[in-house]
Amino acid sequence: MSSAVQDLVESEPDTARPSGLADGVYHGLLTEIAGGTYAENQKLPSENELASRYKVSRPVVRAALERLRRENVIVSRQGAGSFVRGQGRAPALGYAPVESIADIQRCYEFRLTIEPEGARYAALRRNAAALARIGAALDLMNTATRQQQHRDDADFAFHLAIAEASNNHYYGASLQALQSHIAVGMKIHGLALLGPNSGLQGVLDEHRAIFAAIRDGDAETARDRMHRHICSSRDRLFEGRLLDLSL
């Protein structure tokens, strides 16, 4: 993480209660399981690895894992660790693949109904660890911009980290389910930003502004900036000429 972003993160005190920390680990793992990061019967990382990843203590991780066990999401095997439960799990949410320009526009429309509110809640609920994850993705985008490149993976990681900072796993799970759909629009949008009149710096500034509002706990500004950013991304891609999707 760059020194600038690190300074912003470290200036934000982490006042979350232990139960809130456990909730954050719980929702993070639940989002990854729902999104297919961990498949059925797959072993989860060890308590030590999870504690290091989420920057919490092992008792906090144990509390999160215990909740997942109570809800029959995972199962413990003595001496082996925790595994995603293999039978009786509902199928993960899925969406039809992107097949047309109209589908890209529909994806932007749907993102506008969930991501601005996710950013609002992120500003209200974020902690130092959540800010660090958002900042890490922003650093990757900053490096790519200096090299006159667009990294859709870092772009998506930024948006996903904000969804997870909302401490509402439905936002994160929805983005995970839409990852391949969002990637189509991000890739085309990224190509549109390249060239002699590069728009990369402007887009980076939009992301920085969203991060600043979340860091500062300014919920309404975070929502408005996320809404404006997604609209601007859509309009750059479509060059202001949206399709008529009337039935």
| Residues 6 or more apart in contact with residue 42 via CB below 8 angstroms | 83, 84
The pLDDT score that the predictor gives to residue 32 is 83
pLDDT for residue 9? 39
pLDDT at 193: 81
Q: Which one-letter amino acid corresponds to residue 159?
A: H
Per-residue confidence (pLDDT) for residue 94, from 0 to 100: 63
Of 222, 231, 155, 94, the residue nearest 242 (C-alpha): 231
pLDDT in the model for residue 86: 74
pLDDT of residue 4: 36
What is the pLDDT at residue 168? Answer: 92
H/E stretch holding 66: helix 58-70
Return the pLDDT at 1: 40
Q: What is the reported pLDDT for 229? A: 96
At residue 240, the pLDDT reads 82
Domains assigned to the chain: 18-84 (1.10.10.10), 101-238 (1.20.120.530)
**Mean pLDDT of residues grouped by 10 in the chain (247 residues)?**
39 46 83 82 92 90 90 86 73 68 94 98 96 94 91 92 94 89 87 77 96 98 98 90 90
φ, ψ of residue 74 to 5 degrees: the values are: -130, 165
User: Do the beta carbons of residue 67 and residue 169 sit within 8 Å?
Assistant: no
Give backbone dihedrals phi and psi of 107, rounded to 5 degrees, phi first. -65, -40
User: What is the phi/psi pair of residue 218, to 5°?
Assistant: -90, 90
- pLDDT, position 11: 41
